Structure 1
Amino acid sequence: MGAGAAAVRLGDRVSETGERSGAVADTVSAPVLGAHQPESRAGVFVLDRDQSEGEVGRAVRALVEGARSDDGGDTLVAFGLGTSLFEGAGSRAPRQLRVMPSFAGDLLDPAQSHGDLLVRVAGEDAAAVRKAVADVKAVATEVGWTVRWGIDGFRADNRVEESRALARNPFHFTEGFGNPETEREVADRALVREGQGEPAWAVGGSYQVVRVIRFATELWDKDSVPEQERIMGRRRDGKWLDGASVGEEPNFAADPKGRQTPLDSHVRLAAPDRRNPPPIVRRSYSYDRGDGDAGIIFNCYQRDLAKGFEAVQKRLEGEALAKYVLTTGGGYFFVPPPGDAWIDALG
């Protein structure tokens, strides 16, 4: 398999317009962040490096080159750098990267949170994704890394409508309507720009937030569909509670007391002004580990953590949905831009 930069599709190239060609090539915006249909299967796992292996850059380079030398199919491998990789890096470290804090209502399991290096393997074929995950883990073990935690995901009813990638979550709701429609909008929300105070090597990269959120599906399914829709603030198919269609903006200002769309509904708190959506790009997956442990692997990208995910998370405190969900793991990571300069920045 190939894995030479922040992300590599194995078996063919995907351009920023979504077109495919025959050669393997590095790309960030198309497979990781682009306004196309995400892969329907994913394996996410986090590695910790063996401290005795010497310099951080050397350990990362050995993993990347080892993965690159292996043969694979049409599978994407993407990396996210944890803050622990930048200890002692000083000004070379991404300015906002830190350990993900525990937010209100979280119950983070340390064994399922944080870590040095996140690896996301994605594709359309579940068997191919499992094999690629096993291959990367084998390479990692050979060059001094250990697996800290991992989880497998899928996108039910995965599709694109009006240039937006949509999927159905375990609560039976279609999500993804808040994502941008074009590559330009994706880049504006997600990719680090010059002038942000970030190190030069990080420009074109993105801050990634991963949250493993367990859903209380049995409790949720005891509520009526209309009650579920009031908690979410949308119909199951994405239409707004005030009658506006999916492609229109709801008039929250005309409903100041929340008679149509409750003030504590998920979407109203997350994006109170729909004309100015949160500056994030979501690429989430559902998971089901059996014995009632099911939910979503929330995954979003942004160029600014404080203005993106953290601003939304603060607004969601006290939402009606809170009693049905529990965040148990995840972390903050930085997806580097194409090329290998980011490896040199690790020291």
Structure 2
Amino acid sequence: MVACDRRPGARGGAGSLRALVSGLRDTESDGVSVGVALGSGVFGAAGDRPRQLVPMPSFPGDLLDPAQSHGDVLIQLAGERVDDVRAAVERFESAVTGWRVRWRIEGFRAGNRMEGGRGLARNPFHFTEGFGNPADEREVLDRALVRDGQGEPAWAVGGSYQVVRIIRLATELWDKDSVHEQERIIGRRRDGRWLDGASVGEQPNFPADPRGRLTPLDSHVRLATPDRRRPAPLVRRGYGYDRGDGDTGLVFSCFQRDLAAGFETVQKRLAGEAMATYTLTTGGGYYFVPPPGDAWPAAVATG
């Protein structure tokens, strides 16, 4: 991921969104896909901003570094080969002269695979994640994409709110705990099975465990979605990162049609979770992924 700001004075020409999109097209290759999301700062006075798009606030326990947060646009380049992605980043930076890099981070998905219609991977805490996403593509789109009638600008229908959180993980401290204790903090087995014995494809019976004897009340998954019959309306995708010198963690990314009902509701529920001892969010931001097509740069009206 690369977050960029428009260079001072580069309002037109090289500093326009049209130039940025053109540079992205030059960056794409057979082995690398490229996507763009818009930060609140990219909208000019005449811009038709998505109604919930604001700079990401600091939540309890966060320590956001301004140099690692926000950005006018967020570019995500993904591929199977690290060298291909890094070469694409270099092509992008050389092609788009009206923009400067605000922050960047490289991510990876250990054990990345598709299983039961879901994209799964192993996070730096050794747990397989991705089971919370729907397997049905129609439900994925229902959770992620803005609909007509939400009060959003017409150009934004079919787009998606994206949240990125750079979460530093205390992996050395975590690894000192037993697997049993780790599983009680998360609320699942490492392979995704539930602590009450339910299989990955079933729902745990939290109401039958009101005191948290089987699944602790302050476990991550129980706080995030206390009623598994009503899952949070978002789709998530996480990446591990390792920047050296012990700075390892998770690049959390999620997509939803409504920030308040999706990420923000879940984040507020997580206050006081047992896992907070091992995590520190240091950066990221709120962004909006525009719908397919070429109409949105004009709607944003940045020159």
Q: Is 1:77 matched with 2:34? A: yes
Aligned to 2:110: 156
Q: Is 1:189 matched with 2:160? A: no
- Runs of 4+ more than 3 Å apart: 55-58
Q: For each residue in 1:171-206, what CA deviation from the matched residue of structure 2 results, as whole angstroms up to 9, or x when unmatched?
A: 000000000112201110000000000000000000
Aligned to 2:199: 245
Q: How does 1:121-270 map to 2 (within 5 A)?
A: 121-140=77-96, 142=97, 144-270=98-224
Distance 1:277 1:219 in 2: 30
Aligned to 1:31: none
Q: Is 1:101 matched with 2:49? A: no
Q: Of 280, 283, 297, which aligns to 1:326?
A: 280
Aligned to 2:264: 310
Distance 1:245 1:71 in 2: 40
Aligned to 1:113: 69
Task: Report if aligned partners of 2:112, 2:120 keep a CA contact under 8 Å in 1.
Answer: yes
CA offset at residue 56 of structure 1?
A: 9.1
CA offset at residue 74 of structure 1?
A: 2.2
Distance 1:57 1:300, change over 3 A: farther
Structure 1 residue identity aligned to 2:25: R
Instruction: Name the SS for the 2:107 alignment partner.
Output: strand
Task: Report if aligned partners of 1:192, 1:206 keep a CA contact under 8 Å in 2.
Answer: yes
Instruction: Name the SS for the 1:48 alignment partner.
Output: strand
Q: Is 1:298 matched with 2:255? A: no
Distance 1:96 1:249 in 2: 32
Instruction: Name the SS for the 1:47 alignment partner.
Output: strand
Distance 1:284 1:75 in 2: 18
CA offset at residue 57 of structure 1?
A: 10
Which fold has the larger relative contact order, with Cα–Cα distance below 8 Å and residues 6 or more apart in sequence? 2
Task: Report if aligned partners of 1:57, 1:346 keep a CA contact under 8 Å in 2.
Answer: no
Length, aligned pairs only: 301
Structure 2 residue identity aligned to 1:179: N
Task: Report if aligned partners of 1:205, 1:337 keep a CA contact under 8 Å in 2.
Answer: yes
Q: Percent identity?
A: 67
Distance 2:27 2:230 in 1: 44
Task: Report if aligned partners of 2:28, 2:88 keep a CA contact under 8 Å in 1.
Answer: no
CA offset at residue 63 of structure 1?
A: 1.6
Structure 1 residue identity aligned to 2:262: G
Distance 1:291 1:153 in 2: 16
Structure 2 residue identity aligned to 1:327: T
Task: Report if aligned partners of 2:63, 2:281 keep a CA contact under 8 Å in 1.
Answer: yes
After TM superposition, the score normalised by the length of structure 1 is 0.85
Distance 1:177 1:63 in 2: 35
